[in-house]
Structure 1
Amino acid sequence: MKIINKENKNKFILKGFFEEDKLKVKNLLTTFGTITEDINKQISYICLGSNKKFDKNSLKKIANKIIKLNIREFQIIAKSFVTKELDLQNVVNVFIDTYEYLNGDDLYSAKTTKSEKSFPLFLVVEDAKVVAESKQTLIISQLVNKARKYQATPPNICNSEWLAQEFKQMFKDNKKVKIKILDKAQIEKEKMNLFLSVNKGSAFEPRLVVIEYNGNPKSKEKIALIGKGITFDSGGYNLKPSQHIKGMKFDMSGAAICAAAMKGIVDLNAKTNVCAVLPLTDNKISSNAQTPDSIWTSMSGKTVEVNNTDAEGRLILADAITYAIKYFDPTQIVDIATLTGAIIISLGTTYTGIWSTCEKSYNKFLAAANKQDELVWRMPFHEDFLKNIKSANFSDYKNTDLSGKGGSNSAAMFLKEFTENKKYIHLDIAGTAGDGDNPTGVMVKTLIQFALDFDK
């Protein structure tokens, strides 16, 4: 979608109209979302319903319809969609965001037949300030698609070694960041045994991708982003049933989302210090794979009994959190992971679950999510959810509370035990990272916004 500041009278124009508008147009269709075309005058009108009821969700539906319609090269008059509740910037941002999501150039596809080419769309915006502000929306929307590309890439391509190099390429020749990739020997040297335990069944080496950006060297504040990077999750010896194993290529979504968010933070010159620690491996079965009842000593020195090999995400995240604390001493930790099926029972596929140890941090994150129109719902940290995790007879912790009660909360409490009293936000995107086979890149926008506003 291209933004232009003036309409071309030789091309078709598309205007929105409300029921309250007095348009002298014959045979005008007045059902929400319907389009009336005047071929001779090269103008189309789309009904937006009542001005009083038209909100951002209505605008999203309309933008979705126009973009999917693909019948001609429209010039969309942006100001015709403005209401008291939706200013011009809102309108432009929604159109850009929707267009990029539906037509992103960067999405993975192995189809041998090309899809029908879509007609170009133009958004007529006369306000130069709005156009300037929309550039940030475009950057962020394209980075959502970058995360979605990696989410969609099949696991026979997207293994830990490949993905680490892809993340490195994202920051190629970028002098604003420091990036390093730890191989298996270096991970062993760091004694990241929880991470290594998950990798034991893999044909590929684990990788730990570490990215550092210091956008505000004068500040002592630093955000650590930790993203779960399980490139395929079979469940290990606690093998997933057939109906749940499909789609497990999405289990690296947290890492892809963090990498894309870091790219946005850097490209938008956020005045914030941010690092990302991304543990990458698959979770598979082999003669060497870990079994239930295994006990490992984490990087932090705490011991964990693995009573469920399908609760592997929290193992790799725990060591990654410890690594971030040891080498970056962050003031705020944020992890993001497709962590538990239980969150889908709680929040469906609508809300991302969020846990926070700090009220101020939570409010900042919620404000960022609201600004970027992503839905989060706060979940509880409570000691009751740690009881079974700490009831191990032979180690400090079990990795899973097998009671079947509040599984997302007990997983969050397990991870909290490795945060060393740092301010901590945990995001469970198991329900929101994918919509069926469609990856969503959820929380890329919010994480970027959170960093942009963090030191304000």
Structure 2
Amino acid sequence: MINVSFLGLMSGISVLLKTTVIVVGIFEGSNHLEDNGALEGYNDKIMEIVNGYQSFDGKFAEVLPIIGLEKDFPVVVVIGLGKSEDFDENKALKVGGVIYSELNRMKVPDASIVINTDSNVSANIGYGALLRSFKFDKYFVEKKDKNSVYLNKLLLFSKSDPQEVTALFNDLKAEGESIFLARSFVSEPPNILYPETYAQMIYEELSKVGVTVEVFDEDYMKANQMMALLGVGQGSAKKSRLVVMKWNGGDESESPIAFVGKGVTFDTGGISLKPSKGMWDMKYDMAGSASVVGIMRTLAARKAKVNAVGVVGLVENSVDGNAQRPSDVVISMSGQTIEVLNTDAEGRLVLADALWYTQEMFTPKLMVDLATLTGAVVVALGNNQYAGLFSNDDSIANQLIVAGNESGEKLWRLPLDEAYDKLIDSSIADMQNISTKGYGADSITAAQFLQRFVNGVPWVHLDIAGMAWDYEGTEICPKGATGFGVRLLNRFVSKYYESH
């Protein structure tokens, strides 16, 4: 992880000259650098060169390297900040990521960043660089050049008090470390990360930061009649697990916020077998559970003044002679019966028992579940744009949408309605796990299914199937697992539910 530190702008040019590269920002259409005088007599020289490039005008994320400004002077990288009126924390985050990518491409070991901003924006520039620095390269015998990390140190100069910026950054760093953990879990191959090993990894990692972790085996789940969850894993040699995480940072009389995650460590589809092409992506079908692990770690690492519980159901959906069959009927923990018509609609079966268990055991004030639940939500909302949101509570839904807009992890609300609910009625059981009417709306009927296991508790379902993995990468995330949901939920908790 890259080392990020902060200094005041008054530290002077002598400190800047000791680094390999100096990064300075400029707003679109501006005739001056955003350095607040830190570059002293060099500002005019840099602007003269910038103005000589007609193709560079400070548009967002444009990059212009300047070499040889003076003898022994560091390389200067000018980065476009876009329109000044649009520059906010999320833009700062992306700028930090772009800076990291450009400097690492240049193979420089260290750099100074001089962008005249307030403490929040300065901290987010550093945070963006940190988020973009994630690497999952543990299985390379020899590191390939494209996977190499060259940039190890960033020094940010801010007009704000460096101690204030550092304190803000440290909270962000705690969140970032948790996102890295979530990304790493999602990236692991399924022969390494499966229910038993995943549960142990969660226990080891979260115990370090003060989260109480309990791991429950199949006997415990059988005793609690969690047959919907257990049915999913019965065709696998890997034994299913239920993991409960608790963080008590608030008043002991306060009911907790609950986060519930789908943890299908590999999804073959079961007997309703998936096509072989693309099945390799199904290692990330546990991304919802990784996000729950990430938010629980974040709250503990920053000592959040809130009570929270995380519950994840961990299964492998595989095929053997004992695998669940299309048309099987299972009894859920709630006592409701489910006709399983498609074994590839398994995530909702895991969540059905996990949601009911969470309500019964912890009486939460609200529940948020996260799952890579349906391909249909990707058809509706696309990849890496919006996650689908379903809720029985308008107020909490709106809070999450605001938190999503502020964090850059955006949500789009989709409907729940009795007309859709009727589509999952079964002729031989209380319900079936898919609609067979041929009307589409598969993301909605999946959410309607989950709602049948919510018993009077404010609840939100986030379908993150299009958000868990980025096939191209973004300014703040390399290609691969995103850790989506951690930043969103951390903002949601801190803004609306944490004691300040």
**CA gap 1:247/1:9 in 2 versus in 1, 3 angstroms:** same
% identity of equivalent residues: 30
TM-score, structure 1 normalization: 0.92
Determine if the alignment matches structure 1 residue 48 to structure 2 residue 80. yes
Match of 1:36 in 2: 66
1:118 matched to 2:147? The reply is no
Q: Distance in 2 between matches of 1:52 and 1:445?
A: 25
Among residues 11, 19, 24, which one is paired with 2:44 in the alignment?
Answer: 24
Residue of structure 1 in register with 2:97 after alignment: 64
Q: How does 1:250-399 map to 2 (within 5 A)?
A: 250-349=284-383, 350-390=385-425, 392-399=426-433
Q: Please say if 1:9 is aligned against 2:14.
A: no
Give the Å deviation of 1:225.
0.9
Corresponding residue for 2:36? none
2:175 maps to: 140
| Residue 217 (structure 1) shift | 3.0
**Secondary structure of the structure 2 residue equivalent to 1:246:** helix
Counterparts in 2 of 1:59 and 1:39: CA distance versus 1, 3 Å: farther
Alpha-carbon separation, structure 1, partners of 2:85 and 2:16: 31
Task: Give the SS at the match of 1:242.
Answer: coil
1:447 to 465, 471, 489: 489
C-alpha distance in 1, partners of 2:351/2:83? 48
Unmatched segments (≥5 aa) in structure 1: none
Match of 1:92 in 2: 123
Deviation at 1:330, TM superposition (A): 1.0
User: What is the CA-CA distance between 1:455 and the residue it aligns to?
Assistant: 4.3
In structure 1, the residue matched to 2:467 is 432
Instruction: Summarize the alignment of residues 177-196 of structure 1 with structure 2, pairs less than 5 Å apart.
Output: 177-196=211-230
Deviates more, 1:344-353 or 1:108-117: 108-117
**Partners in 2 of 1:352 and 1:362 — Cα distance?**
13
Give 1:380 deviation, angstroms.
1.0
Counterpart CA distance in 2 for 1:366 and 1:429 is 14
SS at match of 1:243: coil
CA distance in 1, matches of 2:132, 2:81: 24
- Aligned equivalent of 2:35: none
Q: Closer, same or farther in 2 for the Cα pair 1:74/1:178, shift >3 Å?
A: closer
Instruction: Please report how far the alpha carbon of residue 169 of structure 1 lies from its aligned counterpart in structure 2 after TM superposition.
Output: 0.4
Matches of 2:81 and 2:207, distance apart in 1 = 48
Distance 1:108 1:415 in 2: 37
Q: How does 1:142-221 map to 2 (within 5 A)?
A: 142-172=177-207, 176-221=210-255
Distance 1:134 1:227 in 2: 28
Distance in 2 (alpha carbons) for counterparts of 1:444 and 1:95: 18
CA contact (8 A) 2:194 2:315 kept: yes
Work out the CA distance in 1 between the residues paired with 2:285 and 2:223.
26
Q: What secondary structure is seen at the aligned counterpart in 2 of 1:125?
A: strand
Q: What's the counterpart of residue 435 of structure 2?
A: 401
Distance 1:306 1:14, change over 3 A: same
Q: Distance in 2 between matches of 1:219 and 1:364?
A: 23
What CA deviation, in whole Å up to 9, does each residue of 1:9-68 have, x standing for no partner? 322422123442245224334513222232523251414165446635765554333212
**How many correspondences in the alignment?**
447
Q: Greater shift after overlay, 286-295 or 129-138?
A: 129-138
Shift of 1:101: 2.6
- Work out whether 1:410 is the aligned partner of 2:430: no
Asked whether the equivalents of residues 108 and 153 of structure 1 are also in contact (C-alpha less than 8 Å), the reply is no
Compared with structure 1, are the counterparts of its residues 65 and 308 closer, same or farther at alpha carbon in structure 2 (3 Å cutoff)?
same
Aligned equivalents of 1:58, 1:257: Cα separation in 2? 23
C-alpha distance 141-311 of structure 1, shift in aligned 2 (>3 A): same
Q: 1: CA distance between counterparts of 2:77 and 2:246?
A: 49
Matched position secondary structure for 1:228: strand
Name the residue aligned to 2:38. none
Following superposition, the deviation at residue 220 of structure 1 comes to: 3.2
Amino acid at match of 1:21: N
Deviations 1:291-315 (A, max 9, x none): 0000011000000000110000000
1:79 match: 115
Gap change, CA 1:240 and 1:137, over 3 Å in 2:
same
Q: Please provide the CA RMSD for this pair.
A: 2.1
CA distance in 1, matches of 2:94, 2:299: 29
Deviation beyond 6 Å, 4+ runs, structure 1: none
**Does 441-450 or 202-211 show the bigger shift?**
441-450
Aligned to 2:456: 421
Change (3 A) 1:60 1:210: closer
Rounded Cα–Cα distance in structure 2 between residues aligned with 1:258 and 1:293 = 31
- 1:201-253, Cα deviation, whole Å (9 max, x unpaired): 01011100011222223443321111000000000111111234220000011
Q: Distance in 2 between matches of 1:378 and 1:91?
A: 32
1:77-97 superposed Cα distances (whole Å, 9 cap, x missing partner): 3434x4xxxx44224313323
Partner amino acid for 2:6?
Answer: I
Gaps of 5+ in 2: 33-42, 57-61, 472-478
In the alignment, residue 466 of structure 2 is paired with which amino acid? Answer: G
Task: For 1:194, give the aligned amino acid.
Answer: A
**CA 1:276–1:116: 2 relative to 1, 3 Å:** closer
